[in-house]
Amino acid sequence: MEAVYLLCSIIYNSVTSSILSIHLLYRFLLRAFSTVSSSSSSPSHPLNEEEEEEVALYEGSVWHERRRPVHHSFRYPVRYALIYLDRAKPDTLLNHFSADQARKITATTGPVFLLTIPKSVGYEQNPLSVYYCYDLEGSIQCLKKCIAEVTNTPWGERVSFIFNPDSDLVAKPLHVSPFMDMLGNWKMKANAPGEHLFLAISVQHPELGDYFTATLTAKRVASTSEGLIFFWLMPQKVAVWIYWQALKLWWKNVPFVQHPRYFNSKYREEASMRDRKLQCPQVLGKGEDSCAQFESSYSACSDGINSRDRWCVWRDARWPWS
C-alpha cells in the first residue's frame, strides 16, 4: 500500500510541477517584456534596504558519507534561503514557525532566521530546515539556540527539536531513512550564518560507531528579485537525489529497515526517553533506583515547553505524501 501512495504522490507532484513550471515561464517572460518596454520611460528602482535583508540567498553543497556496513558517499549542489522571520511576509511562513513561536520555544529575545529550501512550482522538499534564534546581550546579538525541522523521505513526517549550535547530542527521534534503524544519537553543530554557512550532523550508533556524517556548506550569493527562478525545481532535484542514492544503497545490499510505526507504536516515546537521559548525564550509571526517580520527574516530549525538558514535537505526513 505504501508503494501505491508513493507512486501516486510522484505522479501528482510531477504533473503539478510541470504545469506550474509552464506558468512560471510565462510570468517570467511577461515580466521581462514589461521591463524592457518601460525601461526607456521610467527609471528603475532598486530594492530598499529592508527588502534586501528580508531574504539572503545561499548556494553550496550537501555531502553524505556512510562508512558501515558498506562505504557510500555522495555530494550534490543545493540552494537555500535564509529568511528573516521578523520581516517575512505571512505567506512565507506557511508550514513553518513564526518568529514569535520560535522565540517562545527557545526562550530567546532576539531576531530569528529560518534556513530552508522554499517551495517551487507546487512542491516542497526539505530534509532539514533550521531556525537560528538569537539573544540580545546589550547591543550585541548572540546566536543562542537552534531549532531543527527534520522531514523524512518518503514518509513526509516531521520532527522539530532544539539543539545548541556550538555542539549538541540528540537521541535520534525520527526514522529518516529505510537504510538506518532508530538507534543512536545525532551529534549536531552549526555556525551563525554570515558570508559562509556550515552545518554538520554525525550519527553515533551503539553497534556501528560513528558511521555516518552529513554536512551542508554554503556561501552567500548576491540577492536577486527573481527568487522563483533561483529556486526553480530545487526541491524536486533534492527528492530525485534522495531516491537515486537510496537505489544505490539497495544495490549495495545495505539491509532494509522497516518503519518502526509498523512494529513499535511507542518508538517516539522511547526516543524521548533516550534524549532526556542524554540531557541528564549525572543520572547515568547510578543504578535502577536513580533511573526510576529520573523517569518520574520528567514528562513526555510534547507541544508544551518545560525548562527541564528538551522541547520536541512530531508532525504526521500531509497529503500529497512527499
> For the chain, how many structural domains are there in total?
1
Q: Do 227 and 235 meet the contact criterion of CB atoms below 8 Å apart? A: no
With a CB cutoff of 8 Å and minimum separation 6, the contacts of 41 are: none
For residue 266, the model assigns a pLDDT of 92
Residue 46 lies in a domain: no
- Other CB atoms closer than 10 Å to residue 185's CB: what's the count? 18
Q: Is there a domain that residue 45 lies in?
A: no
pLDDT of 3: 61
Residue 176: its pLDDT value, please?
94
Which string of DSSP letters, residue by residue, matches 252-267? TTPPP---GGGT-TTH
Cβ pair 218, 200 in contact under 8 A: no
E strands present in the chain: 55-66, 72-84, 112-116, 128-137, 140-151, 158-163, 168-171, 185-190, 196-205, 209-221, 312-315
**Whole-angstrom Cα distance, residue 49 to residue 261?**
48
Which pLDDT score, from 0 to 100, does residue 43 have?
Answer: 40
Is 44 part of a structural domain of the chain? no
Residue 102 lies in a domain: yes
Closest CA to 176 of 151, 202, 206, 208: 151
Residue 321 in domain: no
According to the model, what pLDDT value does residue 299 have? Answer: 41
Number of helices (H), then strands (E), belonging to the chain: the values are 7, 11
How many percent of the chain have pLDDT more than 70?
71
**What predicted TM-score, i.e. pTM, was given to this entire model?**
0.82
Q: Would you write out the chain's pLDDT as a tens digit for each of its 322 residues?
A: 556 656 666 676 666 666 765 655 656 556 656 654 454 444 433 333 344 468 999 999 999 999 999 999 999 999 999 999 999 877 666 789 999 999 999 999 999 999 999 988 788 889 999 999 999 887 789 999 999 999 998 888 999 999 999 999 999 999 999 999 999 999 999 999 999 999 999 999 999 999 999 999 999 998 765 666 788 889 999 999 999 999 999 999 999 999 999 899 899 999 988 988 887 754 444 444 444 544 444 443 333 344 345 788 999 987 655 4
Give CA torsion, residues 250, 155, 230, 95, to 10 deg. Answer: -160
Main-chain phi, psi angles of 150, to 5 degrees:
-105, 125
> Rounded to whole angstroms, how far apart are CA atoms 13 and 264?
31
The predicted-structure confidence for 160-199, as pLDDT tens digits, reads as follows 999 999 999 999 999 999 999 999 999 999 999 999 999 9
pLDDT in tens, 230-243: 888 899 999 999 99
Q: Which domain holds residue 281?
A: 52-315
Question: For residue 1, is it within any domain?
Answer: no
Question: Does 32 map to a domain?
Answer: no
Q: Residue 145 to residues 164, 232, 265, 274: CA-CA distances in angstroms?
A: 5, 31, 31, 21
Q: Is residue 309 part of a domain?
A: yes
Q: How far is CA 304 from CA 145, 210, 297, in A?
A: 17, 32, 15
- Which residue do the cell numbers 547510578 mark? 286
Half-sphere exposure of 71 (CA within 13 A, CB side): 0
**Residue 159 confidence (pLDDT):** 95
Alpha carbon distance 75, 212 (integer Å): 14
In whole angstroms, what is the distance from residue 118 CA to residue 152 CA?
A: 17
How much is the pLDDT for 12?
64
